[in-house]
Structures are given as C-alpha cells and as structure tokens.
Chain A
Amino acid sequence: MTTSEQERTGIIGRPLPRKENYALLTGSGVFVNDIVLDGMLHARILRSPKAHARIVSTDASRARELPGVVDVLTGAEVIGHTNGFGGLQKGLPFNDRSVLAEGKVVFDGQEVAAVAAETWHQAQDAVEAIDVVYEDLPPVVDVEHAVAPGAAKIWEYAEGNVWDTYKCHVGDPSAVEAPVAVAGKFVAKRSAAVAMEPHGCVADYDRRSGKLTLFTSTQFTHLFRVLIADVLRMPQQSIRIIAPNVGGSFGSKGDAFPHEMIACLLSMRTGRPVKLTLDRAEVFRATGAMCGQVTDGEMKVDADGKIVGYHADVLHDTGAVSPWGGQIMRIGLHIGMLPYPIPNIQIDARSVSTNTPGGGPVRGFGIPQVLFVKEQLIDMAAEQAGIDPVEIRLRNIPEVETYETPSGIKIDSTTIRDCLQKAASEIGWSTRHADRDENVGYGVGLAVKYTSARHPSIDTDLSTVRLTIGMDGRVTLRSGDVPHGQGHTTMLSQIVAERLGANYDEIDVVSADTDATPFSLGTFGSRSAAVLGSATAEAADQLRERVLAIAGNLLGAPPEALAVENGLVSIPGVPEAVVPFAALSGTAMFMTNSLPAGVPTGPLEVQATYDTPTEREREDGGGNWAATYSGAAHAARVQVDPDTGEYRILDYVMVHDSGTVINPLIVEGQHHGGFAMGYGMVLGESIKTSGDGQLTNASLATYTIPTAHDVPNLHRSFEINAPSTVIPIGAKGAGETATGPVPAVIANALTDATGVRFLQMPITAEDVALALAEKKRRGVDRLTWPVTDETEEGQR
C-alpha cells in the first residue's frame, strides 16, 4: 500500500475483509454442484477417445435399455435441431462448436453423445454402453506440423489449418541497421487454468411456462443467454442464466460449452431438471488450456540501448476449437510490446488449429507468452550491448507518465519506471553479483497490461448496474457482471458507501442473474474495478443527487448544505436535522407531495452504464484497444541445483501500478494468485498430448500445478499507483498483471544463474539439468536450450 492510500479518509482504499468470506469459509456458499432440485436427473457425456476421426456410426440401443436411463442424446437427436456456435464470439462467419460432434471429432474429449439417468452411476453406465465406430483421420497435434504442406485439414474453412491472421506492421524493422541484433525461436507450451471448482451446470426447463433456467459456473450470463438462445433456437426471454458462487475460472469459464447446451436439451426433452458436472479429466480434455505459441523473434537495439526494431513470426496454437483465440493472439502480441514505444514492429501471426484441446483465455490473455519472448530478447540484447538489464529497460521507457507508442497505444498514466527501480532496489540488483552464492541468479521483467479491452467485433466494453434504495433504506446494487473470486460485493459496496453515502453494512449486491440484473458483458480482462466500478460510481453519484434533492426539500436546506453518511442525510451541526434513507425512499414512493419539482416519483433507483473509450484495430494492426494499462515490475533471486535441475525462488519482489486501489487486500490477493499462475506456467504446467493427440496428463496427479510448498513467501509486494486519467474511478485492474512477467523473470534469473538461455516454457527441472550437462559437455560459457539441430551440427 502506498502512502496515498493510507491517507485516504473514505472507505474506498480500505483493506476491508471481504463480505464474501463468511459464506465461503463456513461452507454455506452455494456452488452449482450444491444445487439439488426435485426430480433432478444426472447427465454424463460420452467423449471421443480419438483426436481426429470420422464418426461412422453411433448405436445407443443398449444404453437406452439400461436401468434408470431417461434420455439419450446422439448426433441424430441434435444435428439439424440446434445451431453451431463459436463464430459469434470469434467475430468470424464460421462456427467451430456444435452441441455434439457432427460427422467427425476434432479433439480427444469432444462430446459425442450424452445420457440423462436417475443417478450419476446409471448415466455413466449408459454412456459406456454406447457404441461408436470411428474411422481414424491423421491427427494434427503439433502446431508447426499443422501448417506444413501436406498436413491433414481439420476444418474446411481453414486453409493450411490457419483460421485467422494478425499483422502488426509499424515502421520497418528489416530496414533498420543496428549494432545489436538478437534472435531466437521461442516456444510457449500450454498451461491450463485449473479452477478449483470444475465446470458444471443444472438446467431446469419448465414445460408449463416454457422457461429454461440454467445455473452454471461461468464468467458471463447476458451474452451467454444470447448464444444459448441461438444454439437452442429459443427466444432469449425464455432463458434465464444464473451463476451461483463460482469456484474460480481464470478465463476457463469465459466460453459457452457443449455440456451446458447438452444439459439444457436433456432438461427440455425430459421435462426434468438435469445436473451435469464435469470431472477433473473432462475439465482438462473438454474445456481446454491456454494458447500455445511458437515465435521466431528478433530484436534490434542501437548503440544507446534503444530498441529500434522488433520482428516476430508467430504460430498461435488454438487447439481444435477456440472461441477467443484470435483475440488472444491480437491483444497479446500488440499490447505485449508495452511499455516500450518501439518505432519499428513487424509481427506476422497465424492462428492455427490442431487436434488438441481448445485454446482459450487463461489469466493474462496472451500476454505471458509474448513477455516470455520479449523480456528475454531484451536481456539478450543487454548482454550483447554490454548494458545492464535494468538500465536498458529504463532507457526504453519514456520519462513521462503519459505517452503514445508508435503502434498507437495511449498510456494514460504509468509509474512503470518507478516500479522497475523499486523492484531492482528491493532485490539488491546493483550489488547482486558482488558475493552471490554458487548457482544463484537474478532476473527482472516488466509487464504493462491492458485493463479490459474491446472485442474486435463490437464497439463497446461496458458494464451496467442498477442501484436502488429500498423501502427499508437498504441499498441494493444489481450488476450484470459475474464475480468468481474478485470480491465484487465488497469492492462495489465500498464504492457505493463512499459515493452515495450509504452504510457499508447495508449494501447488498445481486449479480449474475439475467432476470435480475441489467445487461453487462461479464467478468474478464481485469475489468471489474475499472469498468464495473466506474458504472457503480456513476450510479451512486446520480442517486446521491436525487437523495440530496429529496432530503433538502424535507429539511428545508439546499443540497450543498447536506452531508450523506451511513445512510443518513443530515445538516452538519444541526442535531435533529437527520433523515434516513428509508424516509427518503418512502417519500419518493408514498409521500410524493413532499417531493421537490423535477424529482420523479417511484422507487429510488437509477441505472448507469460505463463504456470505456477504445479504438478498433488500425489498418497497420495497431491502435488503442484498451482504455488504461496497469503495470508490473518483478525481480527474482533464484537458486539452481545443477544436479537435479531443480530451482527455487529465494526472494521475489513485485511492484505494481494498479491505479486507484479500492480494496488493497483484494488487490494483494490478486497479485499473489497471479504470481502463482505465472510461476506454474514456467515451473512445469503444460498439457501433454501423445502423438495421436490423446491428453496424457489430464489429472491433478500428473498435471503439476504449484503447491503451497512451491510458492515462495510473497510478502515483498509493493504498489506505486498512478490513478488512470481515463477511467473515472481511476482503477486499472489487477487480476492479471502479476501473471505476465513471471515466466520471463524466472527465465532471466535462470540464465544469470546457469549461463543457459531457455527458450521454451515451461522450464522444467529436467530442462535445466540436461542443459547444464550439455553445456558442460561442450565446455562453453553460454548455451541456448533446447539445442536445435543447427547448433548441434556446429559442435560436431
């Protein structure tokens, strides 16, 4: 926390414990799998064991006869009766998702059939009794193979398996003569989000009213309703989407999934509620992982250490189905260049389909992959130029708080220089090599990440809230967004308490229910504090005006003479001149003769929308796609065991610019969690597929997320906050800023410790040990890992 926060007197900025904690910590919070409805059936899905195959036949006759089976869905029941989906989200005219596989399967785990039965076990038994005959098609597993001539085609619309491209051409890096040029082929493998709560839903169709209610673990409800109405060919108003408590998502539930459509169909066909919860293996296989990237990257630096050119050819692996893959590619590659105003950029990227689990958003939305490349190239350039890694970064960050990059990104405010200097000083950068222990290395890295960003196919990035003072004086905020760990109730209560003058303990937040909340896009992209928070502040300001007008009339004083605090309006210094919110509400609804002119009768309620000012993609691929940008400078001291290759963090410093912080406890928690996910990406998280495309580590025993033992003490976390000058509430978002730099910071520290430059993420203990053995075998000071055929030949 910075001093500016400590000096605040209002409730915004206070580290209040979360209002959400009580229910969650006592186990009384309701998650989707806790929901039990009368007559509820249980559904299971038959998933493809093949990554790429034609479906020759499906025979469910045995399954239909099994005890307890109420309904079976195969392609015959679904194809032609439902629409495909995915295209709308992509902003592209084709769909890659269907409720059940149509004609062929494109990834291991794809939905082929489903059963609803009286019990989970009966449903599972029936699923196993469905006979499907497949005809193998060549699996396309590797992204480089996917674009090679002769590779099998996964989708008809994607020539060479490339379904989207992105070019950012600003200036011309190839024309730049520079004394320092560094390059490498970087690979980011695919880590998964691994939310603690698996994906799941309960669908409840009421035949009398024709109303379908879907309780689901998701990040968005209103847009989801649009999608589901289209897929099921139903009127939108007949569908209600409710997200109860959501046990984490990290991007992985920011999509519409076939299992949700399947549950709805089964409920509509049987007239009974249907629960469908995925098990952990299904979550890995069917809901996907982050997008992989193979990058041929080059950076040019002039004699002063200024970055003068950046060039990257990128293969962006989106798996077989990818709703947001194209956007992840764009946002990651464009905004990932920050904070440096690089004058010449040439990025050519292709979104490539492979027969692997879908590539989607995972905390950081394409940024960690890009920072892993760029923040390492800077260190490589620094070494070649003989400039200190911190110094070279400082030389490339403008010494102003506001600037625009040649690629069109408008930094409205940033303290990233201060953050970097603070991180360097805290880690002991200047004396780091004076007396360090053997096998210890230091690394730094930066991230400047967008806070929310517009979707390429729509013009808005908005949140809407409705704020009401009830008859009893309690305040209710209805938000169309979907909290899943961000602490919306606490954060929004703080804003309402301060801006409206309500009592913090008398504010309720209703979220994530399409029938009870106004339209909002959903919760993703670190947008809540900035976008939803600004909408809430606007609503509170509007309502306060009405409160003051009514109270002023009752108290016989002008509004500016009134104070509003804790749900009471008063004339300061006049003890008996106090009106509670309940009286104002009653006046507006029942004693309307006491309302001043111009104040509407009826409930004390306002609705407000905040939409960030953003630009669409420019012709050259640039543009200001987000309204504001948060910052992070991280520094690490790591120690390597050269025999086993294990490494551990001895010290880690995080310095963030999160803009205005509404609740420092929540922000710090986001930084801790963000770090842990970034650390997992580099330490060893990645989905593994066999040559046939089968996922081989689809369990928490084999997919190794970091545990409490692996994550270091993160007490050295600092904020140097410059409020956004664009976002009304000044917040910049904190949900993802801490993830992005981590893999690059660790990679840089490992290079410092070992002399090996690691170009592949994750960097496992095995990589480190084998690289060090190879370096020793060759008798060299510097090695790039993994060793490519070319460098190998040079040594022979």
Chain B
Amino acid sequence: MRSFEFLAPSTVSEACDALAEHGSEAQPMSGGQTLLLQMKPRLSAPKVVVHIGRLDDLRGWTYDDGALQLGAATPYAALEDGTPLVGAHELLRFVAGNLADRAVRNLGTIGGAVNAALCNYDVPVALLALDAQLLLRSSSAERPLAVDEFVLGNGVTARRPDELLEKLTLPSRTGWRWAFHKFRRRLADAATASVAVLVDVGEDGTVSDSRIVVGAVTEQPTRLHAVENALSGATLSAGRIDEIAASAADETAPLVGPLAACSADYAHQLVRTLTARALHSVAQDSRWRG
C-alpha cells in the first residue's frame, strides 16, 4: 500500500465535491473489498480515498411504483438478511447472499461490485439480467447509464473521475422467473463461469420475454441475444432446454489468454451446463431460484 489521504464526507454532495476537487487522484470507496485488495500490493494507489460506505443516503432500498430503488453502498449482507424482494428482484438478493464469504459480504456493496466491474463478479451479471439503470452523480450533474453502458470491459467502467455511483433502479419484474447458476473452484472463490436467466412465461406456457446473461468467462457480462430470441415463444421442455443451452455456449466468445480462468472449451462446457441448469430450474414453476 502507498500512503493516501482518507476523506470521510458526511453527505453525498460533500463526497461529490471531494471527487471534483481531486479528480483522477481520488477513488471513492464503499466497502473496500476490491479496492483495498488492489491497494495493498500497490496495483492501485489513489492519493485520496473518499469513503462513501457510511453515507445513509447511499444505503438501503425502497420500492417506487414496482421499481426497486437501491442505494449503491448497500452491503450484500443487508440484502442477504433483509426481507424478500419483489418478483425476480430476488435474483439480486440471492446473488448477494452467495458470494465470497460472510466477512466480505458484511462490508462489500452492490455499487462497489459494479464499480469494480471485474469479469468474475456476480453482481454485474445479475444487474444486467435485471435491466438495472445506474445513476451516476457529480457535483454538477447526474447521468443515468444502463449496466452494459457502464461496464466497458474487465475492470473498466464509464465512470468519470468526478462521479460516484449513487443508486440503481431495477424495473419491475413481477411474475418473471429467475435463476442464477455459477461454477467456482472453492466455496468462497469468484466464479469461473456464471449464468443468469430471467424468463417471463405466459399463460400458455411459452416464453414471452427473457434475459440470458453469461459472466466470468467473458470480458464483461454478456447478454446472449440470439438465445433470447430463440427462447421467445418456446416452451421449456427438456429437449428444447438442451438445444438452447448448446446455442448459449455457441454464442459465448470466452476470454482467452493469461487472464482467462479456464480454457475456451471448458468455458463453453460450463456455459452449456449452467444455462441448462438455470433453464431447468425456471421450467419448474414452483420455485425458481438458483
């Protein structure tokens, strides 16, 4: 670690002012579960750390006309311990309660995970599947972005140095079925591969709308549009699921090279397996969780 100045603003606007003042020399930090790990070996060395993790305005969530309004500095554990969310928003709560270990979940936050934007993080995958809108705030303006407009690559985001991620808005997904499946080497490891599935199944048992997102094996969370199109109007029969899962693997272009957690062949196999498992779980309409 290098020495740095630690600022603890008491309001969001003070935090924005601090970011405006220090620009790219500053880093906002909420739970610090990614940033600190990068700072310790000096991979990241901000001169100023702006701590936003204790700002009440950035924590907690409300429902507004069916849409979930979630403060960016809400810790995973708050969701994990909270009451169930509405409809397929439960996907996010499931993901938040099932990553890393409890010590990390006590401090790590939803906004922190999106800001870290590491390809093997689960939260960006879930948020993309849930069509989350992110609200970025600076001292002079606010800017809404979709998840795939914000996450530009592995660890790369569209956040400007003077902006902080304030809140997330998830549109209503009442009645949608959801599943999240991931593969990880050890219990508290980040994912080797992950798949989030949301489907809206009509009265006739056919899929009317869906989101299929793969994570970890790709540079950033990736929606599989062709698979979603193929799902449209389909019934979730076992045979059909296997076909769709195979096409999900085909549509996935895995990361290769030293950063990749596994070979492309294995990534394909994991995507096929996890997609099939996710679709099988949403096909059973009693419970739809991972």
| Chain A residues proximal to chain B, CB less than 8 Å | 121, 124-125, 279, 281, 643-646, 684, 690, 696, 701, 704, 706-707, 709-710, 765-766, 769-770, 773
Contacts and interface: CB of A to CB of B under 8 A. Distances in A.
A706 B185 CA distance: 9
Given A704-B185, A707-B187, A766-B262, 15 more contacts: A121-B1, A125-B2, A279-B41, A643-B273, A644-B269, A644-B270, A644-B273, A645-B266, A684-B185, A690-B258, A704-B186, A706-B186, A707-B188, A709-B187, A710-B187
Contacts of B142: none
A644 B188 CA distance: 17
Contacts of A709: 186-187
Interface of B: 1-3, 41-42, 183, 185-189, 258, 262-263, 265-266, 269-270, 273
Q: Which of A684, A706, A765 lies at the interface centre, i.e. has the most chain B CB atoms within 10 A of its CB? A: A765
Given A643-B273, A644-B273, A709-B186, A766 B3 contact: no
Contact of A707 (B1, B42, B186): B186
A770 B266 CA distance: 7
A704 B258 contact: no
9 contacts: A281-B41, A645-B266, A690-B258, A704-B186, A707-B188, A710-B186, A769-B270, A770-B263, A770-B269
Nearest to B3: A121
A121 B45 CA distance: 13
A766 to B, nearest CB: 4
B269 A696 contact: no
B274 to A, nearest CB: 8
Contacts of B2: 121, 125
B269 A773 contact: yes
Contact of B185 (A281, A765, A770): A765
Nearest to A705: B186
Nearest to B262: A766
A688 to B, nearest CB: 9
A704 B189 contact: yes
A121 to B, nearest CB: 7
Across the A-B interface, give the 4 residue pairs with the lowest CB-CB distance, nearest first. Answer: A643-B273, A709-B187, A766-B266, A707-B186
A766 B266 CA distance: 6
Contacts of A707: 186-188
Given A643-B269, A644-B183, A769-B269, A696 B188 contact: no
A218 to B, nearest CB: 26
Contacts of A643: 269, 273
A701 B186 CA distance: 10
Contacts of B266: 645, 766, 769-770
B257 to A, nearest CB: 10
A766 B267 CA distance: 9
Given A121-B2, A644-B270, A644-B273, A770 B187 contact: no
A85 B270 CA distance: 49
Contacts of B185: 684, 704, 765
A769 B186 CA distance: 17
B78 to A, nearest CB: 25
Nearest to A772: B269
Nearest to B277: A643
Contacts of A281: 41
Nearest to B265: A770
A766 B261 CA distance: 10
A121 B3 CA distance: 8
A26 to B, nearest CB: 22
Nearest to A642: B273
A694 to B, nearest CB: 9
Contacts of A769: 266, 269-270
Q: Which of A646, A707, A766 lies at the interface centre, i.e. has the most chain B CB atoms within 10 A of its CB? A: A766
Nearest to A699: B41
A765 to B, nearest CB: 7
Contacts of A125: 2
A512 B3 CA distance: 38
A193 to B, nearest CB: 19
Contacts of B186: 704, 706-707, 709-710
Contacts of B183: 644, 646
A643 B280 CA distance: 14
A645 B186 CA distance: 13
Contacts of B187: 707, 709-710
A770 B267 CA distance: 10
Contacts of A770: 263, 265-266, 269
B3 to A, nearest CB: 7
A146 to B, nearest CB: 21
B83 to A, nearest CB: 28
Nearest to A688: B258
A105 to B, nearest CB: 21
A523 to B, nearest CB: 31
A310 to B, nearest CB: 34
Contacts of A696: 258
Contacts of A704: 185-186, 189
B239 to A, nearest CB: 17
Contacts of B189: 701, 704
Contacts of A644: 183, 269-270, 273
B277 to A, nearest CB: 8
A319 to B, nearest CB: 20
A690 B185 CA distance: 21
A352 to B, nearest CB: 24
A707 B101 CA distance: 12
B118 to A, nearest CB: 11
Contacts of B41: 279, 281
A46 to B, nearest CB: 14
A684 B41 CA distance: 25
A765 B273 CA distance: 13
Contacts of B1: 121
Contacts of B263: 766, 770
Nearest to B185: A704
A706 B187 CA distance: 10
Nearest to B257: A690
A124 B42 CA distance: 10
Q: Which of B3, B41, B186, B273 lies at the interface centre, i.e. has the most chain A CB atoms within 10 A of its CB? A: B186
B254 to A, nearest CB: 12
Q: Which of A644, A696, A704, A773 lies at the interface centre, i.e. has the most chain B CB atoms within 10 A of its CB? A: A644
Nearest to B183: A644
Nearest to A704: B185
Nearest to A281: B41
A709 B187 CA distance: 7
A471 B3 CA distance: 55
A701 B2 CA distance: 21
B177 to A, nearest CB: 22
B165 to A, nearest CB: 24
A124 B3 CA distance: 12
